[in-house]
Structure 1
Amino acid sequence: MLTQTKDSKVESSAGATKPMTMIQALRSAMDVMMERDDNVVVFGQDVGYFGGVFRVTEGLQAKYGKSRCFDAPINEGGIVGAAIGMAAYGLRPVAEIQFADYFYPASDQIVSEAARLRFRSAGDFTCPMVVRMPCGGGIYGGQTHSQSPEALFTHVCGLRTVMPSNPYDAKGLLISAIENDDPVIFLEPKRLYNGPFDGHHDRPVVPWSKHASGNVPEGYYTVPLDSASVFRPGNQVTVITYGTMVWVSECAAREAGIDAEIIDLRSIWPMDLDTVVNSVKKTGRCVVVHEATRTSGFGAELAALVQEHCFYHLEAPVERVAGWDTPYPHAQEWHYFPGPDRVAAALKRTVEA
């Protein structure tokens, strides 16, 4: 089955489907690729016998052996450095950093080696590796288990930065990332690991939206790494977001009764600018939402791009809704997050301006 998502970008999928959480979908993606390609290896802290701190890799070592799925020391620089060497040698490593907050010791390897290997070798070497990182809050993990550092990666030429919002996209994007010949930073929102929610931490889950179906093909399929999706069609205002904030924004629009068009970037960088521009030109208004801190967050880049490409179509200033410009608050994280109330207030201000 082929599903046309954009004129030049096609999603491909095949096989029977079944309900999956994001954890199950990510595990299925690695399982499919490990079965298809002996060069795919999975490793990181506790990912082998234990199956990962969130159990994303559970069962892979038992199925493929300790040479294909194995544990690594608590040494993020070593994990990423080993992955770069494997990738240059011809393997396709999928390395896990246990929490996105822990990537800093590996930042030199990611920025100076992985991202630049193709350029520095004049194309003689590529770096087909994926670095998986659980990101964002929702588990009261405090300052070292809850950050959203996506803006840091988007600043680095040579990296792709991806963050899915639902199981279907998570599996298809991870397969595409593993097949890609350049390094991909694959950020996984922890709040979405075990199923959908309606934007509030104390509300019961709601069914997945039509686009973000929880029914995931069991076999091989891909989602393009450079294609955004229209998560929720609308005409009054465009919301540009990704990851957990897709669901928060949907909840805010629904509760406020605003006909918002929600664009889920999926691939944060390189981003699908055409889908964003076409939506903002249609609605004339734009709100950008992300969980990371506001100052120098990726929302600033999005607001600048909208201003550059849609200035004469805008009927109101572009608004940003983001986390606080403070160290991550342990006990107050649900106030730190942009919640439905804050997003709804921004939507109303923008629509009424």
Structure 2
Amino acid sequence: MNMIQAINSALDIAMGRDSEIVVLGEDVGFFGGVFKATEGLQAKHGKNRVFDTPISECGIIGVAVGMATYGLRPVPEIQFADYIYPALDQLVSEAARLRYRSAGEYTAPITVRTPFGGGIFGGQTHSQSPEGIFTHVAGLKTVIPSNPYDAKGLLISAIEDNDPVIFFEPKRIYNGPFDGHYDRPVTPWAKHPQAQVPEGYYRIPLGKAAVVRAGEAATLLCYGTMVHVALGVAEETGVDVEVIDLRTLVPLDIETIEASVRKTGRCIVLHEATRTGGFGAELAALVQERCFYSLEAPVERVTGWDTPYPHSLEWAYFPGPVRLTQALKRVMEG
């Protein structure tokens, strides 16, 4: 399966197991979603469980909060993460606080699916990476898969979780991984080991990172699309880099991070989002606090620029192999 097919399979299986799960959003019903992630679900599970909504992100999430309070498990889709901001108040002021403000009487088992990130020349209104905003909000969980196998297992876990989860889907790798070079075509998932996705039910627990490449020289922390950039640079440079795919930012698997950095003594944080206030700053601070006496060089950050996402200059914004290789050289010389 590619990632789209894996997400579709996760939704189908979860809905088959639990009649309280509903899918809602713009064009998710008859049309099957702009990226076809919900294709066929309405025909199979009915219009009462998979339905289209008006173009109102605040309304979509507001309705989902009400559904969750009533006892359903809504899975709303925000068509692009760039359009999630009108729904921010519903997520921050309602969904994230519901369990606490009701002393546990109510929960908000909502899984908000949304494509994020660049790589498809969508410009500044279809390419943003706003994950850092949501990791700042107590009560929200933030999940970002990097491959089809993880996408299915993590999405099922998110849907079954009793707390609200923001499930970011890196659309650049919906159909296949890549190594960050804009002049190379997308590699199909077909022969990738992590595209061997079981047809049936399985879960990947939230809060557990994956060491996708073991190494001794430096630790590279990343998630989503950037995992493939990291693996490509590790192979091209020949440096013995340990690549950690975080998979979930909140809850964060700090134990795996700490063990790796204590072993390698060097750390690079890689993400596509804007640098200032990005989740990489939190990771760098945590590594410094917990692993200071093990570090042989300052923690490096390779990120997007502090500018709106450009359309024509997308690959200059994208933190690709050149910038990552330069950072790797600096930490190895440190």
Give the shorter-chain TM-score range.
over 0.9
**Counterpart selection for 1:241 from 215, 222, 225:** 222
1:38 deviates by 0.4
Aligned residue pairs total 334
1:119-158 aligned within 5 A: 119-158=100-139
1:212 deviates by 5.5
1:90 deviates by 0.7
Aligned to 1:334: 315
1:149-298 aligned within 5 A: 149-206=130-187, 213-298=194-279
- Secondary structure at 1:213 match in 2: helix
Distance in 2 (alpha carbons) for counterparts of 1:344 and 1:207: 25
- Secondary structure at 2:249 match in 1: strand
1:129 deviates by 0.7
Distance in 2 (alpha carbons) for counterparts of 1:285 and 1:41: 45
- Secondary structure at 1:191 match in 2: helix
Distance in 2 (alpha carbons) for counterparts of 1:136 and 1:208: 19
**Counterpart selection for 1:48 from 26, 29, 34:** 29
Distance in 2 (alpha carbons) for counterparts of 1:279 and 1:313: 10
Distance in 2 (alpha carbons) for counterparts of 1:212 and 1:273: 26
Distance in 2 (alpha carbons) for counterparts of 1:204 and 1:97: 27
In 1, are the aligned partners of 2:2 and 2:189 still within 8 Å (CA)? no
Aligned to 1:62: 43
Aligned to 1:302: 283
- Secondary structure at 1:342 match in 2: helix
1:81 deviates by 0.5
Where structure 1 has 5 or more consecutive residues not aligned to the other structure, the ranges are 1-19
Worse-superposed segment, 175-184 or 325-334: 325-334
In 2, are the aligned partners of 1:163 and 1:186 still within 8 Å (CA)? yes
Aligned to 2:306: 325
Worse-superposed segment, 96-105 or 199-208: 199-208
Worse-superposed segment, 48-57 or 205-214: 205-214
Superposed CA deviations along residues 214-238 of structure 1, whole A, max 9, x for unmatched, are 1001100000111000011111000
Worse-superposed segment, 25-34 or 192-201: 192-201
Are 2:64 and 1:83 aligned?
A: yes
Are 2:95 and 1:114 aligned?
A: yes
Q: Which amino acid aligns with 1:82?
A: V
Superposed CA deviations along residues 239-291 of structure 1, whole A, max 9, x for unmatched, are 00100000011111111111100010000111000000000000000000000
1:207 deviates by 7.5
Worse-superposed segment, 209-218 or 35-44: 209-218
Distance in 2 (alpha carbons) for counterparts of 1:132 and 1:176: 13
Aligned to 1:32: 13
Structure 1 residues 210 and 194: CA distance shift in structure 2, 3 A: closer
Runs of 4+ in 1 over 6 A off after TM superposition: 207-211
Superposed CA deviations along residues 274-329 of structure 1, whole A, max 9, x for unmatched, are 00000000000000000001111000000000000000000000000000111111
- Secondary structure at 2:197 match in 1: strand
Distance in 1 (alpha carbons) for counterparts of 2:242 and 2:31: 41
Q: Which amino acid aligns with 1:160?
A: K
**Counterpart selection for 1:95 from 62, 72, 76:** 76
- Alignment RMSD, CA only? 1.4
Distance in 2 (alpha carbons) for counterparts of 1:212 and 1:322: 27
Q: Which amino acid aligns with 2:58?
A: G
TM-score, length-scaled by structure 1: 0.93
Distance in 1 (alpha carbons) for counterparts of 2:190 and 2:132: 27
Q: Which amino acid aligns with 1:161?
A: T
In 2, are the aligned partners of 1:166 and 1:212 still within 8 Å (CA)? no
Distance in 2 (alpha carbons) for counterparts of 1:125 and 1:32: 25
The sequence identity of aligned pairs, in percent, is: 69
TM-score, length-scaled by structure 2: 0.98
Distance in 2 (alpha carbons) for counterparts of 1:296 and 1:263: 21
Structure 1 residues 211 and 116: CA distance shift in structure 2, 3 A: farther
Distance in 2 (alpha carbons) for counterparts of 1:94 and 1:165: 20
Q: Which amino acid aligns with 1:52?
A: G
- Secondary structure at 1:217 match in 2: coil
